[in-house]
Amino acid sequence: MRILITGASRGIGAGLHAAYRGMGHEVTGTARNGGADLWQLDQTEPGSIAALARRWDEAPLDLLICNAGIYTDRSLRLPDYSAALWAEAFACNVTGPALLIAALLPALRTARGRVALMSSVMASDALAPGGSYAYRASKAALLNLGRNLSRDLASDGIAVGIYHPGWVQTEMGGPEADISVAQSVKGIIARLDALDLQGTGCFLNHDGTAIPF
């Protein structure tokens, strides 16, 4: 398979990048500043997205994993939220993936590929304990994007899944998180192996448990 993974310089993205390469797939990872074996992609910059799409050049894309994202309001309270913080969260967590999918749509259509969006259980309207407003709202918007894309892209043979990778021991999740990167990656790969048009639009935990919308 030809696979593209955003946010592959660390954490879950790096784990997926290594795992899929170890399985013998042709894997391209991205990072905001690029790297030795990573393509440069700043998904808050439309020009950077367009440059990546030109570099891909419509080669068939079997699996696009939109993993890159930010969580900048973990400890904020409502009076501390600026317009710039809201704009940054949505630019990275929603607009970037939407523009990237659109730019790579010819490649996905050629392969009748699949799209995986790394959202979060924090996107669920049914599970809303408060706080982290920008992160929750942006991940909820990403969930909504994925659900609607799953309808619109089905006629192209493209399946879309939305996933919660778990509370993972990464820089974002912290050392007290529930599971390791390896455990999360193993679960995500199993979920993506099962993703097809029958399950398009799914919102699943890394272990396969359905998450309420």
The per-residue pLDDT for range 14-33, each reduced to its tens digit, is 999 999 999 999 999 999 99
pLDDT over threshold 70, residue 211: yes
- Does residue 125 or residue 38 have the better pLDDT? 38
Q: Which pLDDT does position 173 carry in this prediction?
A: 65
Q: Which pLDDT does position 145 carry in this prediction?
A: 98
pLDDT over threshold 80, residue 194: yes
Report the DSSP beta bridge partners of residue 77: none
pLDDT (average), residues 150-178? 85
Report the C-alpha gap between 164 and 121 in whole angstroms. Answer: 6
Q: How far is CA 26 from CA 2, 20, 23, 76, 111, in A?
A: 5, 8, 9, 40, 14
User: What number of other Cβ atoms are within 10 A of residue 28's Cβ?
Assistant: 20
Reply yes or no on domain 2-205 having CATH 3.40.50.720. yes
Q: Which pLDDT does position 166 carry in this prediction?
A: 79
Q: Which pLDDT does position 172 carry in this prediction?
A: 65
Confidence label for 169 from pLDDT (cuts 50, 70 and 90): confident
pLDDT digits (tens, 9 = 90+) for 137-161: 999 999 999 999 999 999 999 999 9
Q: Which pLDDT does position 49 carry in this prediction?
A: 98
Q: Which pLDDT does position 179 carry in this prediction?
A: 78
Q: Euclidean distance between the first and final Cα of the chain, in Å?
A: 31
Closest by CA position to 42, among listed 2, 119, 96: 96
User: Rounded to 5 degrees, what are φ and ψ at 90?
Assistant: -75, -35
Confidence label for 171 from pLDDT (cuts 50, 70 and 90): low
pLDDT over threshold 80, residue 1: yes
pLDDT (average), residues 99-111? 98
Q: Which pLDDT does position 75 carry in this prediction?
A: 87
Tokens, residue 153: 């892209």
Report the DSSP beta bridge partners of residue 160: 115
Angle between helical axes of 11-22 and 181-194 (0-180°, round to 10): 60
Q: Quick one: which H or E segment has residue 29?
A: strand 26-31
Q: Which pLDDT does position 177 carry in this prediction?
A: 63
Percent of the chain with pLDDT over 90: 87
